[in-house]
Amino acid sequence: MQNPIISIRNLSVEFNSIKVLDDINLDIYQDDFIGIAGPNGAGKSTLIKTLLNLNNYTGEINLWDKPLNKFKNWNYIGYLPQSPNQYSHQFPATVEEIVALGLISSLDFPRILDKKSLQRVKDILTELEIIDLTKTSIHDLSGGQRQRVWLAKALVSEPKVLILDEPTNALDPEIRQVFYKQITKLHKQGVAIILITHDTSDIGTYAKKLLLLDTKVIFWGEFSDICNSDKMSSYFGEAAKHLICHQHE
């Protein structure tokens, strides 16, 4: 039995004395593709940000068998945040410069970009078919192009797990499909995927396990288990249940 890459025990998070996460227990493995779902305010993004050491918490979090506060290999984790476009509208940067920022976690001090690093940036841009945008300003990109640039930034350090927080919110259906095709390909190459989305059909189509969250864990496990239970209808409704479970029949 392989060790979990992420292990969470009795995790609770409070903001202003309000419990946002309550007694969460999870083990995530290298071959997992997990969909995290739940209503607004269920604590989905809080869970991810806590895993990324951005929140205070009680309980225990281990990443690759190391306690979170002692974990140093941040290049193991690629993260595509919910609102990656939150930067100064003035910020002057090319696609190459932004993607290179994703390498910081894998560079030793002084973190100066050498030829090898720049080649890695070129490789990931080629892989995601945006190499022709290398010297383009990030302000001159379309929504779909920008999303690929953020994905390139998340992937450039060759992470072992990729965390996607509502990654396709602003994308039209065609670009969305291309995006998920790339994610599925990455998963096949051995990258664990954690996907938060409101879109139940995306979860049903791509994820293998479901974490249903509403401050507490409502369901955690294989789709086949939840599809046979009442929880599915009560949380998603009959139509969504059909859509999700149909993919896993």
Partner 1 sequence: MNNLINILQYQFVERAIIAGLFLGIVCAVMGVFLVLRKMSLIGDGLAHISFGAIAIGIVFGFYPLVTAIPLVIIASLIIYALTRKHIIEGDAIIGILASLGLAMGVILSSISTGFNVDIFSYLFGNILSITQPDLLFVIIGSIIILSIIILFYQEFMAISFNPEQAQISGIPVTILDILFSIITALTVLMSIKLAGALLVSALIILPASSSLQIAKSFQNTVLLAIVFALVSILIGIIISFVFNIPTGATIVTVNAIIFFAILIIKLLKAKELSYRNM
Determine, following the binding rule CB under 8 A, whether residue 134 of this chain makes contact with partner 1.
no
Whole-number Å distance between alpha carbons of 229 and 246: 14
What is the DSSP secondary-structure string of 16-71?
TTEEEEEEEEEEE-TT-EEEEE-STTSSHHHHHHHHTT-S--EEEEEETTEEGGG-
Enclosing H/E stretch for 96: helix 95-101
Determine, following the binding rule CB under 8 A, whether residue 69 of this chain makes contact with partner 1.
no
Contacts to partner 1 from residues 109-128, by CB under 8 A: 109-113
Least distance (Å) between residue 105 CB and partner 1: 4
- Per the DSSP assignment, residues forming a β-bridge with 28 are 6
What is the DSSP secondary-structure string of 166-177?
STTTT--HHHHH
Least distance (Å) between residue 79 CB and partner 1: 6
Determine, following the binding rule CB under 8 A, whether residue 87 of this chain makes contact with partner 1.
yes
Determine, following the binding rule CB under 8 A, whether residue 55 of this chain makes contact with partner 1.
no
Determine, following the binding rule CB under 8 A, whether residue 16 of this chain makes contact with partner 1.
no
Find the binder of partner 1 among 17, 40, 88, 119 (CB under 8 A). Answer: 88
Whole-number Å distance between alpha carbons of 242 and 92: 46
Determine, following the binding rule CB under 8 A, whether residue 104 of this chain makes contact with partner 1.
yes
Least distance (Å) between residue 161 CB and partner 1: 13
Specify the amino acid at residue 139: H
Determine, following the binding rule CB under 8 A, whether residue 98 of this chain makes contact with partner 1.
yes
Determine, following the binding rule CB under 8 A, whether residue 93 of this chain makes contact with partner 1.
yes
Segment interacting with partner 1, rule: CB under 8 A, options 52-60, 141-149, 177-185, 214-222: 52-60
Site string for partner 1, 188-227 (x = CB under 8 A): ----------------------------------------
Whole-number Å distance between alpha carbons of 49 and 231: 26
CA-wise closest residue to 11 among 56, 60, 46: 60
In sequence order, which residues have a C-beta less than 8 Å from that of residue 77 and are 6 or more positions away? Answer: 52, 63, 159, 160, 161, 162, 163
Question: Looking at beta carbons only, is 163 or 210 nearer to partner 1?
Answer: 163
In sequence order, which residues have a C-beta less than 8 Å from that of residue 87 and are 6 or more positions away? Answer: none
Site string for partner 1, 144-183 (x = CB under 8 A): ----------------------------------------
Find the binder of partner 1 among 70, 72, 115, 188 (CB under 8 A). Answer: 72
- 3-state secondary structure at position 149: helix
* Residues in touch with partner 1 (CB under 8 A): 52-54, 72, 74-75, 77, 79, 81, 86-88, 90-94, 97-98, 100-102, 104-105, 107, 109-113, 135, 137
